[in-house]
Amino acid sequence: MAHTNPYSIGLDKNPANYVALSPLSFLERTAAVYPDRIALVYGTLRQSWRDTALRCRRLASALAQRGVGRGDTVAVMLPNVPAMFEAHFGVPMCGAVLNTLNTRLDAEAIAFMLQHGEAKVLLTDREFAPVVRKALAMVGERRPLVIEVEDALAPPGDHLGELSYEALLAEGDPAYAWELPPDEWDAIALNYTSGTTGNPKGVVTHHRGAYLNAANNVIAWSLPHHPVYLWTLPLFHCNGWCFAWTMALVAGTSVCLRRVDPALIYPLIREHRVTHMCGAPIVYSMLVSAPDGLREGITHTVQGLIAGAAPPAAVIEACEASGIALTHVYGLTEVYGPASVCAKQEAWQSLPAEEQARLNGRQGVPYPLQEAIAVLDPETMQPVPADGETMGEIFFRGNVVMKGYLKNPSATEEAFAGGWFHTGDLAVMHPDGYVKIKDRSKDIIISGGENISSIEVEDALHRHPAVMMVAVVAMPDAKWGEVPCAFVELKDGQSVEEADLIAFCRGQLARFKVPKRVVFGSLPKTSTGKIQKFQLRERMHSASAID
């Protein structure tokens, strides 16, 4: 006789005991509990959570009245301004999917994304009018409704769009009765990866994952109620690592910022007593390299999340000395931004600063609500030994992993092969269970049969006081096959000779890992601060770029 589970009889989901998880619920709670607390600061604007919720409902209502609904795409080409924050709530409130566009991309890439994502509406800023105009011309008949977000702090530029953002909001109902998605698996956002070849892939994320990762940020970072968060991280990048939704969860204050510049950042930290910020290593390198006078009058510690590339230990040390306490997180667009954290241990506090920086520079352990991070052999899908030496690929599994790639089943199947999400990052597992990235699979340098981690060489060069940024790539070599070549960007006012940097590395690295050439100059970067190594590799084929 088959066993009957008594817990499955008459105990079903119903409206009283089950609702879909969505970060939209955070907004309504905070607007009700803390209506008068400031949600947004921008220039002279001080906008409460009550008014923010009203404006988000107006946006959702206006979009719905224009026929935008479940499964439709609303694209935004905006800097970190209040409208960008509001779109993270107003767009999904009407059931639509938010597509935040990388504001540094060219017209061809933007046109592809508008067409591939089938955007029905585009919110844009006049700073980007030249690129947007070209992109719209390429889109042709499938041109979305263009809404211009007018901003007194924007640089001069042409006006685009059929109507303004404020006019659109005026059409909406502030009491719009929005609903949670019928299924928490519904898409909430579309983010395109910054592919170096071919068309980018459209990463689709869902309400459930956005809810969980917004909460993850609070738990992993011990985020208190009412933090003051400075938007040094682009909101278009992985939806700002879900921090718009996180700020709604903890009733925080978001200090908006059009562009990353220490001359703008330090006054905002001082005036608003900013408590938290996020960014790539380049953001923190800029801050610690800025003139000391900019930091005058700032006596409190700022908590910072750092990710985007493996941060050099030297940057972590310099930030700690400058009053910025860093926590290292790691992730990708496909896992909503950060999905692992280098969770700090109390015992580390008694160690020398250099050793603390080394430990804190690891990619760490899973976020609390992410099921697992693992370092596996990509061929056998078995764990590599936890010896800190054996390299494998990083894999993620859990509720904070994308639905898949839009209209790309083959890429989705490949990404999820074996029941894990494949990151393409090579790493080791340390005995204490902490992951440490060694390289992207395409960035590893194989010299005379020996694997050289470009990140290890970059870490060594970052310790030189004259170095601002560095990228190491493989250079063809007749004897060894390939050897390291370092591209170095120096701090303002600093100078150093190639031979001196090579000698400096010899004091820290095995001889075969030392760069054979050093090329000085500005490094090509993405809008999120990642160095575009593929451009540096292209330079390798031009003798004039090196000699």
Mean pLDDT per 10-residue section of the chain, whose length is 547 residues: 82 93 98 98 98 98 98 98 98 98 89 97 96 94 94 90 95 97 97 70 97 97 97 95 98 96 96 95 88 92 83 79 91 94 93 86 93 95 96 95 97 96 92 87 69 82 91 83 89 91 89 90 77 80 48
User: Can you read off the two tokens belonging to residue 465?
Assistant: 């006081």
Cβ contact 377:384 at 8 Å: yes
Residue 242: predicted pLDDT: 98
Q: Is the CA virtual torsion 447, 450, 451, 454 positive or negative? A: negative
Q: Cα separation of 403 and 401, whole Å?
A: 7
Using alpha carbons only, give the angle 21, 25, 28 rounded to the nearest 5 degrees: 170
pTM: 0.84
Cross-strand pairs, 451: 446
Kindly write down the DSSP assignment for every residue of 51-62, as one continuous string.
HHHHHHHHHHHH
Count how many residues are written for the chain: 547
Phi and psi (nearest 5°) for 258? -70, -35
Nearest Cα to 259, choosing from 161, 436, 127? 127
Cα distances (angstroms) measured from residue 53 to each of 26, 65, 122, 497: 10, 18, 21, 56
Residue 459: predicted pLDDT: 86
Residue 321: predicted pLDDT: 85
Angle (deg, nearest 10), helices 262-272 and 281-289:
80
Give the contacts of 539 (CB within 8 A, at least 6 positions apart).
487, 519, 545, 546
Residue type at position 368: P
Angle (deg, nearest 10), helices 82-93 and 24-33:
110
Q: Cα separation of 44 and 166, whole Å?
A: 17
Residue 479: predicted pLDDT: 72
CB neighbours (10 Å) of residue 6? Answer: 8
| Chain centre to alpha carbon of residue 391 | 25
Phi and psi (nearest 5°) for 15? -60, -20
Residue 547: predicted pLDDT: 45
Nearest Cα to 56, choosing from 147, 185, 175, 194? 175
